[in-house]
């Protein structure tokens, strides 16, 4: 399997643009999710999810996104 890390960039606690990073990557048989906030000098938060938990998270995210409506913002 390919060694891939996906990084999402967004606002942090200070609501400044592009100061927080959510990283997702496969580590062994689990999905590792790390959250860093550059502007607040916060310590890194980390969670590792097994496959079934990651699937439940993905479903919950899709449900909540659908509640946001049809409008999608890409930028």
pLDDT digits (tens, 9 = 90+) for 13-57: 666 677 788 899 999 999 999 988 876 666 688 999 999 999 999
Q: What's the order of all strands across the beta sheet hosting 20-27?
A: 5-10, 20-27, 30-37, 45-49
Domains of the chain, by residue range, sit at 5-67
Return the half-sphere exposure (C-beta side, CA atoms, 13 A cut-off) of residue 17: 1
Rg (C-alpha) for the chain, rounded Å, is 14
DSSP assignment of 52-75: HHHHHHHHHHHHHHHHT-S-----
**pTM (two decimals):** 0.70
Q: Is 62's pLDDT higher than 80?
A: yes
Over 80: is that where the pLDDT of 9 sits?
Answer: yes
């Amino acid at each position: 399997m390919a060694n891939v890390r996906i990084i999402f960039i967004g606002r942090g606690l200070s609501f400044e643009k592009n100061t927080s990073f959510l990283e997702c990557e496969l580590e062994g048989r689990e999905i590792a999710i790390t959250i860093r906030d550059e502007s607040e000098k916060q310590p890194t938060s980390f969670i590792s999810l097994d496959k079934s938990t990651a699937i439940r998270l993905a479903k919950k995210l899709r449900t909540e996104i659908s509640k946001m409506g049809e409008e999608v913002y890409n930028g």
